[in-house]
Chains A and B, each alone.
Chain A
């Protein structure tokens, strides 16, 4: 006897017909609103992240479910999945990266314009996963810096959504000077990117 499926058992009243984003904290007066530039830029960026899918195996199939109507990544401002690295903000690496594929991942990352973020989806992209073998890269953080790791083999679409919201959080709170800081330059240099 299978377990009966239950969903929507907690009633959530719909407050507004359209989901909106809260504005940043600031000072409002008659006809003006003052806030920090970084907050406004962060707000704009985090709700219009263009992902670049780099799907090499089964995690890519899960990503297709994520882009479908049921889970719908477009709700998070990522309607447009771009396949041109120069226009993208977020590199989503999904699947096993063989050592022979590593230079290609790196090249795609280098072709993206700053500011750029990276999400590693699944055990293989994060750590090599079950493929502890001579031909597989043991985690993409050996070649490019990674912002968010999503565990799972493969992760459920909800997990990827959670990871994506973590990226949104990072994007929204990022200091506008971070990419020019010495610490960031050092991180790039440790990956051989000047």
Chain B
């Protein structure tokens, strides 16, 4: 029998119960979230279960929601079941002042660079990552540029006259 979204949902509810929240299905893609301390347990379950077998990590990224106090940073895992060709999305939220999240590198080798990228742009501190340092930006960058408190424009340039851009 092919894997359906009902089975996935039922299996997760049987295992974790109320710990899994935020059920959604935008464009037919199952989306759910959990407490950030549970992320490895949920991922391990999705990986190990003989029926679910979500063994491919398509993407790992973060989102910054400045208005959600206490859980500003969302870390999103996109998982793929290659046997039944089903994708799911799993989210966790963390406080921006203490963005510690357990690293998924032990489970998915692909998480290594993706977590470095997420650290590079959002400053998520992946606990247990073997080599958590910047991957795309210059090493001496002192901030996390994709966080929304930083303007997109380069702040180091001196030749820009605000008046010319209709500001102030």
Verify if B69 is at the interface (C-beta below 8 Å from A): no
Complex contacts, B138 vs chain A, CB 8 Å: 99-100
- The answer to whether B152 touches A133, judged by C-beta atoms less than 8 angstroms apart, is yes
Q: 1/0 contact trace for A92-135 toward B, CB 8 Å?
A: 00000001100000000000000000000000000110001111
Q: 1/0 contact trace for A126-146 toward B, CB 8 Å?
A: 011000111110100000000
- The answer to whether B156 touches A135, judged by C-beta atoms less than 8 angstroms apart, is no
- Secondary structure at the A interface, as helix, strand, loop or mixed, is loop
Q: A99-B138, A100-B137, A100-B138 are in contact. Are A135 and B153 (CB under 8 A)?
A: no
Interface residues of B in 115-159 (CB under 8 A from A): 136-138, 141, 145, 150, 152-157, 159
- The answer to whether A136 touches B137, judged by C-beta atoms less than 8 angstroms apart, is no
From residue B163, how far is it (CB to closest CB) to chain A in Å? 16
- The answer to whether A134 touches B152, judged by C-beta atoms less than 8 angstroms apart, is yes
A100 to B139, CA, bound (A): 8
A135 to B139, CA, bound (A): 11
From residue A69, how far is it (CB to closest CB) to chain B in Å? 39
- The answer to whether A135 touches B152, judged by C-beta atoms less than 8 angstroms apart, is no
> Which residue, of B137, B154, B159, B160, has the highest number of chain A Cβ atoms within 10 A?
B154
Who on chain A is nearest to B146 by CB? A134
From residue A107, how far is it (CB to closest CB) to chain B in Å? 15
Who on chain B is nearest to A99 by CB? B138
Complex contacts, A138 vs chain B, CB 8 Å: 154, 156-157, 159
- The answer to whether A135 touches B137, judged by C-beta atoms less than 8 angstroms apart, is yes
A128 to B156, CA, bound (A): 12
- The answer to whether A133 touches B153, judged by C-beta atoms less than 8 angstroms apart, is yes
A138 to B145, CA, bound (A): 17
Complex contacts, B160 vs chain A, CB 8 Å: 132
Complex contacts, A132 vs chain B, CB 8 Å: 152-154, 157, 160
Who on chain B is nearest to A98 by CB? B138
The 8 closest A-B pairs by CB, nearest first: A134-B145, A138-B157, A99-B138, A132-B153, A100-B138, A138-B154, A132-B154, A133-B152
Chain B positions within 8 Å of A, measured between CB atoms, are: 136-138, 141, 145, 150, 152-157, 159-160
Chain A positions within 8 Å of B, measured between CB atoms, are: 99-100, 127-128, 132-136, 138
Give me 5 other A-B pairs in contact (C-beta within 8 A), A134-B145, A134-B155 excluded.
Answer: A133-B154, A134-B141, A135-B145, A138-B154, A138-B157
A-B contact pairs, 6 of them (CB 8 A): A99-B138, A128-B157, A133-B153, A133-B154, A134-B141, A136-B154
